[in-house]
C-alpha cells in the first residue's frame, strides 16, 4: 500500500526496498531486519512483532501527501538527498553508461541519459523528471 511512497523515496535517492508480490508479513519483517531497514507500513499488525520497535514505522495516512508529512515527523527525510539517482523500478544506483544505440526521443540530449545497470532501463531529463523534481522540492520545503 505504500508502494507509491516507496518509489518517491527512491526518487529522492534513498535505498528503498519494496514488498515483493506475495511476500507475507513475517517474511517482509524478517527481511527488513536482516537488511537493516526501516519497515514503513500501514499494517498495525506488523508493530506487534518482537523487535518491531526501531524497525517498523506505522503510517496512517491514505494520501501520498499525508504519508510524506507523517514520515517527516518520524524520520529526518531529505527529499533532495540525491534526486533521481536510483532506478525507480529496481532501486539500483544509476550510472552514465547508457548504450549508444538506445532509442530515445529526438529532442533529448544523449549526455543526459542515465542507465540502470540492474534492469537496463534508461532515464533522461524531460518533462517527467522535471515534474518529479518539483514534487521533491515542494516536499522538502514543507517538511
Ligand atoms: Zn533498474
CA 51 / ligand 1 centre spacing (Å): 32
Q: pLDDT value at position 142?
A: 84
Dihedral angle computed from the Cα positions of residues 87, 14, 47 and 27, in that order, rounded to the nearest 10 degrees: 40
What is the whole-number distance in angstroms between the Cα of residue 67 and the centre of ligand 1? 25
Report the pLDDT value the prediction gives residue 1, as an integer from 0 to 100.
64
In order along its 143 residues, the chain shows pLDDT tens digits of 699 999 999 999 999 999 998 899 999 999 999 999 999 999 999 999 988 988 999 999 999 999 999 999 999 999 999 999 999 999 999 999 999 888 888 888 888 899 999 999 999 998 899 999 999 999 999 87
Please give all residues whose CB falls under 5 A of ion ligand 1, grouped by chain where several chains appear: 87, 89-90, 92, 116, 118-119, 121
Q: Determine the distance separating the centroid of ligand 1 and the alpha carbon of 79, expressed in angstroms.
A: 20
Domain locations along the chain: 3-142
**Angle, in degrees to the nearest 10, between helices 64-74 and 127-142:** 50
DSSP-assigned states of every residue in 61-101: -SSHHHHHHHHHHHS---TTSSTT-B-TTT-PBPBS---TT
3-state SS class at 137: helix
Distance 32 CA to ligand 1 centre (A): 20
In the reported structure, the alpha carbon of residue 119 is separated from the centroid of ligand 1 by a whole-number distance in angstroms of 4
- Ligand 1 center to residue 13 CA distance, Å? 13
pLDDT at position 74: 93
Amino acid at each position: 500500500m505504500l508502494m507509491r511512497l516507496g518509489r518517491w523515496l527512491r526518487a529522492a535517492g534513498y535505498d528503498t526496498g519494496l514488498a515483493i508480490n506475495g511476500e507475507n508479513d513475517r517474511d517482509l519483517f524478517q527481511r527488513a531486519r536482516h537488511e537493516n531497514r526501516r519497515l514503513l507500513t500501514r499494517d498495525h499488525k506488523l508493530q506487534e512483532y518482537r523487535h518491531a520497535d526501531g524497525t517498523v514505522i506505522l503510517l496512517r495516512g491514505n494520501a501520498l501527501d499525508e504519508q510524506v508529512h507523517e514520515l517527516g515527523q518520524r524520520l529526518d527525510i531529505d527529499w533532495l538527498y540525491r534526486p533521481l539517482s536510483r532506478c525507480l523500478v529496481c532501486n539500483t544506483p544509476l550510472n552514465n553508461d547508457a548504450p549508444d544505440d538506445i532509442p530515445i526521443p529526438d529532442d533529448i540530449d544523449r549526455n543526459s541519459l542515465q542507465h540502470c545497470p540492474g534492469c537496463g532501463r534508461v532515464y533522461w531529463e524531460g518533462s517527467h523528471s522535471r515534474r518529479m523534481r518539483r514534487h521533491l522540492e515542494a516536499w522538502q520545503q514543507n517538511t
